[in-house]
Amino acid sequence: MIKTSQLTKKYDEMVAIRDIDLDLGQGDLFGFIGPNGAGKTTTMRIIATLLTPTYGEAYVCGYSIYTHPKEIRRLVGYMPDFFGVYDDMTVIEYLEFFAAAYRIAPHARRKRCDEMLEVVDLEFKRDAYANTLSRGQTQRLGLARVLLHDPAVLLLDEPLSGLDPRARIEMRALMRRLGSMGKTIIVSSHILPELADVCNKVGIIDSGVLIANNDVTAIIRQVRPDMVILIEPAQAKQLDQAAKIASQDSIVKDTNIVDGMVRVTLRDYDADYSSLSTLLINNGIAIRRFSEEEINLESAFMAFTKGAGAKI
């Protein structure tokens, strides 16, 4: 659905992005993560045919950005970080205006607009003036707008930026729903951990260079190649005993005590470690906590970007 090859954009001597290679299929929800100015918006604007690259190629649904920009624009819904709404238009009038711009037949416009308001859970604001909406409601209105022509590809630039916690949760749920509809989505963010439970693929960009690009689980494995289990005995005095017993399990590579817990490193990342808790309980160790050591996209981002900017 989206494929780029050596996509590069320069402004005189300044390199905005360099050699960006992406390959996304139908239904992929790709989290594009990086700090402000890293090159996320530049990449998305090129894919949307709103910006011409210095060199490199990009295809959307098999169409080249150079030879078929009009076809690509019919297939893409691009929502920028900030966009204007018209002061004297209600929500439904705003959508109908853009439905006309998308050349949706007059007899079908109202129905299509109502359907998109339902998709983004904004029906209750149908007759409110667009400029009276909250930031979260405005973002949902913008998403309804780019969905009007039923695009196969969605490019969402910082859709979570500036939203309150409830609005972010609602927006993430909406993105999952769109992904389940088979749409290919690129969503950019500098709010790092918030995309981990939404996206199936992640790209980490820094100073215009795509320094990581893989499935979420693969990205995390690159940062932490070993599976680590944290065990907290119900009785602190059993810490040493618990570590000694855990080390007897054949799946365990190493144990050490950190911050009042036994930190157990497994030999195999995908090992079934249920035997470990059984072993401890059978040896009289009551367990208060038994869980995998968490590592999120923020930790991955910091690990991948360490010193990356200096390579440009």
Q: What is the CATH number of the domain that holds 126?
A: 3.40.50.300
Tokens of 103: 């050349």
Both 215 and 241 in one domain: the answer is no
By residue range, what is the domain housing residue 260?
226-292
pLDDT the model gives residue 311: 40
Both 217 and 250 in one domain: the answer is no
Both 114 and 252 in one domain: the answer is no
Q: Is residue 205 part of a domain?
A: yes
Both 143 and 232 in one domain: the answer is no
Q: Is residue 305 part of a domain?
A: no
What global pTM score does this model have?
Answer: 0.78
Residue of 232, 237, 274, 276 whose CA lies nearest to 253: 276
pLDDT by 10s per residue, the chain, length 312: 899 999 999 999 899 999 999 999 999 999 998 888 889 999 999 999 999 999 999 999 999 999 999 999 999 999 998 777 787 899 999 999 999 999 999 999 999 999 999 988 899 999 999 989 988 899 899 999 999 999 999 999 988 877 788 888 888 888 888 888 889 999 998 766 667 778 889 998 989 999 889 888 787 777 777 889 999 999 999 999 999 999 999 999 999 999 899 999 999 888 889 999 999 999 999 999 999 887 666 667 777 766 554 343
* Distance in angstroms (rounded) separating the CA atoms of residues 118 and 120: 5
* Distance in angstroms (rounded) separating the CA atoms of residues 304 and 39: 16
Both 230 and 213 in one domain: the answer is no
CA torsion, ordered 306, 308, 309, 312, to nearest 10 deg: 170
Both 46 and 136 in one domain: the answer is yes
CA torsion, ordered 116, 118, 121, 127, to nearest 10 deg: 80
Please give the helix or strand (H or E) that residue 100 lies within, else none. Answer: helix 91-101
Q: Is residue 126 part of a domain?
A: yes
Both 93 and 240 in one domain: the answer is no
Q: Using the 3D structure, point to which of 185, 203, 222 is the last residue of a domain.
A: 222
Both 212 and 248 in one domain: the answer is no
Q: Is residue 312 part of a domain?
A: no
The CATH number of the domain holding residue 276 is: 3.30.70.100
pLDDT the model gives residue 28: 93
Both 178 and 254 in one domain: the answer is no
Both 288 and 198 in one domain: the answer is no
Q: Is residue 303 part of a domain?
A: no
* Distance in angstroms (rounded) separating the CA atoms of residues 77 and 99: 13
Q: Is residue 309 part of a domain?
A: no
Angle at which helices 91-101 and 106-119 cross, to 10°: 120
b/e for 107-140, b at 16 or more Cβ within 10 A?
eebeebbeebbebbebeebeeebbeebeebbbbb
Both 231 and 218 in one domain: the answer is no
Return the bridge partners of 64, or none.
59
pLDDT the model gives residue 122: 92
Contact assessment for residue 126 and residue 91, using Cβ atoms and an 8 Å cutoff: yes
Residues 6 or more apart in contact with residue 93 via CB below 8 angstroms: none
* Distance in angstroms (rounded) separating the CA atoms of residues 122 and 20: 36
Q: Is residue 169 part of a domain?
A: yes
Q: Is residue 246 part of a domain?
A: yes
Both 179 and 250 in one domain: the answer is no
Specify the number of domains making up the chain: 2
pLDDT the model gives residue 5: 96
